[in-house]
Chain A
Amino acid sequence: MARTYTRPVVLEDAVTHYCPGCGHGIAHRLIAEAIDELGIAERTIGMAPVGCAVIAYDYFNIDMSEAPHGRTPAVATGIKRARPDCVVFSYQGDGDLAAIGTAEIIHAANRGENICVFFVNNAVYGMTGGQMAPTTPVAAKTTTSPYGRNPENEGFPIKVAELLANFDRVAYSTRVALSSPRNVRAAARAVKRAFLTQIERRGFSIVEMLSPCPTYWHMAPENALKHIDESFIKVFPLGVYKDWDK
């Protein structure tokens, strides 16, 4: 019988530590597929963040490094500048990228570092047990916003794809969702485009992925996906906010 669906080659044959229904598995797969399709596994270097994806290096069969919380774009800068012929990507969550690492992401984008950033936005700190993230929607309850996020006290969720599109040296900035087959296929195209942006030396690229966290959204996996399509994308509209070719 012909095989029509297999694990990407650069995705390790490993049981991940992610919770059932977590979006990280989809995000990993899309990145791995793009690396396979572009044939760049032997020159790709990945960065694992601090957060739920902290041991992402166990799941990709490529060279990888860890980085201190939020400093991922700075470490990626140091790697890319040292090895400009390698393809370097930074994999970050919302706490890592939009809270503790705000300075690093803004300035890597502003310098137009020729790297890809895959930003998994699930609006919650998963690794530490469900605390409020910079992208937590207004009124959403978390362990550190038990009365719901109040903009008077905590401000509004930060819209990263829109924010980074403002920088002249950002080549590609988009927001996708890992929620439905259609959205996942669009996400796959965005991931591949980000890699191509780097390979063609166009500059900084970011793919923001709205991703389900059934555990800390306190939802069944299926409902978490529905929640993205029905509610989350109203806070974070999908779209291409910057594309060097358009």
Chain B
Amino acid sequence: MPERILMTGNEAMAEGAIRAGCRYYYGYPITPQNEVPEYMSRRMREVGGVFIQSESELAAINMVMGSAAAGMRAMTSSSSPGISLKMEGISYMAGMELPAVIANVQRGGPGLGDIGASQADYWQATRGGGHGDYHLIVLAPASVQEMADLATLAFDLADRYRTPVMILADAQIGQMMEPLVWKVYKRPADLPPKDWALTGAKGRPKRIIRSFFLHPGQLEKHNLRLQEKFALIRQKEVRFEEISVEDADLVIVAYGSAARAAKGLVERGVDAGKVGLLRPITLWPFPQERIRRLAGMGKDFLVVEMSAGQMADDVRLAVEGKARVGLYNRIGGAVVTIEEMAGKADRMLSASQGV
């Protein structure tokens, strides 16, 4: 039987990255993700990798850009205010088509906010976050095991599509300890070769990595190609977990920490009807088609999130007015509770029976 070990989410994510072959980590301290740079500073030495505590989040993301341009698996992590700083580099990397992994262990905002668990960076993460027309692939772990698994998957997705991938966790998932089992990592055999990486132009034409296209029409062409890539990702990479959705009257949609509470409610049940859970694992691409289909089956939705109705926007877009979409949320670093969620679910179910 595989060994179960106890780790924090942040450390599991760091170790997952190393097992996926990440040998370049650059970061700047910020709570609640300090376990990641601390772990990396220790482990990178052991595995012959590079760790730099950079002078800022700006420098960190740009060091990631450099190592990614050189063809290596590189990563940075931060928390909300630090992620805002990284957005410049993230936009560049989307334009330069550089694969890299950025982890955001979210805390409360706006501004310096607090250090509590929050999901208030949903819009920033799922809409791209920086300037220009682009998306990040956004992965939302809901357990320590998933911190490890999705860190590994993030590098494969980044390499497959030549695009930055964000792991969107939060203070709770990052800080808590849970048992996890290490799976043997196998690099997918069909990942495209990095025939664009800067290695020195030996015996081949020079390579240029850029996001700058000055000649008329060039940038539109570049953007159309990027959009084709995003369309392919939308088509192929949607991931979600469902619990008791098929016979539910009310489907709770929640991710990360909020989904853990929602799972508790689904297991316990509510008096007024049947509840199920749809937990997006990819926030972008969002499981829009699945939600649309469930709406067509007559189910209503309760979005549970630790932000001011951000993911609720995506659920409303998905149902196209065919279902009721309720919201139960806490904001500013406060966490959702099963009791409050149960009350909201009961009210929605009772109201629909009354109609």
Do B59 and A79 have beta carbons less than 8 Å apart?
Answer: no
Q: Say if the beta carbon of B200 comes within 8 Å of chain A.
A: yes
Distance in angstroms from A120 CB to nearest chain B CB is 18
Q: Say if the beta carbon of B208 comes within 8 Å of chain A.
A: yes
Distance in angstroms from B278 CB to nearest chain A CB is 38
Q: Say if the beta carbon of A218 comes within 8 Å of chain B.
A: no
Question: A75 is contacted by which of B50, B52, B65 (Cβ under 8 Å)?
Answer: B65
Q: Say if the beta carbon of A67 comes within 8 Å of chain B.
A: yes
Q: In the complex the two chains form, what is the Cα distance from A55 to B211 in whole Å?
A: 11
**Which residues from chain B contact A79 at a C-beta distance below 8 Å?**
66-67, 69-70, 198
State which of A36-44, A147-155, A238-246 sits at the interface with chain B.
Answer: A36-44
Kindly supply a per-residue 1/0 record for chain A positions 20-64, scoring 1 wherever the CB is within 8 Å of any chain B CB and 0 otherwise: 000000000000000000000111110010000011010011111
Scan residues 56-72 of chain B and give those whose CB is less than 8 A from a CB of chain A.
56, 58-60, 62-72
Of the four ranges (under 10, 10 to 19, 20 to 34, 35 or more), the interface on chain B belongs to 35 or more
Q: State the total of A-B contacts with C-beta under 8 angstroms.
A: 133
Question: Smallest CB-CB separation from A12: which chain B residue?
Answer: B206
Of the four ranges (under 10, 10 to 19, 20 to 34, 35 or more), the interface on chain A belongs to 35 or more
Q: Given A78-B69, A79-B66, are A86 and B55 also a contact pair (CB < 8 Å)?
A: no
Q: Say if the beta carbon of A2 comes within 8 Å of chain B.
A: no
**Which residues from chain A contact B96 at a C-beta distance below 8 Å?**
65-66
Do B202 and A66 have beta carbons less than 8 Å apart?
Answer: no
Do A86 and B65 have beta carbons less than 8 Å apart?
Answer: no
Q: Given A55-B212, A74-B63, A77-B52, are A65 and B201 also a contact pair (CB < 8 Å)?
A: no
**Which residues from chain B contact A81 at a C-beta distance below 8 Å?**
24, 50, 52, 63, 66-67
Do B63 and A68 have beta carbons less than 8 Å apart?
Answer: no
Q: In the complex the two chains form, what is the Cα distance from A115 to B222 in whole Å?
A: 31
Do B208 and A78 have beta carbons less than 8 Å apart?
Answer: no
Question: Smallest CB-CB separation from A78: which chain B residue?
Answer: B66
Interface centre among B62, B66, B70, B211 (most CB of A within 10 A): B66
Q: In the complex the two chains form, what is the Cα distance from A74 to B76 in whole Å?
A: 13
Do B203 and A75 have beta carbons less than 8 Å apart?
Answer: no
Do A61 and B201 have beta carbons less than 8 Å apart?
Answer: yes
Distance in angstroms from B52 CB to nearest chain A CB is 7
Q: Say if the beta carbon of B221 comes within 8 Å of chain A.
A: no
Q: Say if the beta carbon of A184 comes within 8 Å of chain B.
A: no
Q: Say if the beta carbon of B290 comes within 8 Å of chain A.
A: no
Given contacts A42-B200, A54-B212, A81-B63, 5 further A-B contacts (CB under 8 A): A64-B206, A64-B208, A78-B62, A103-B55, A104-B58
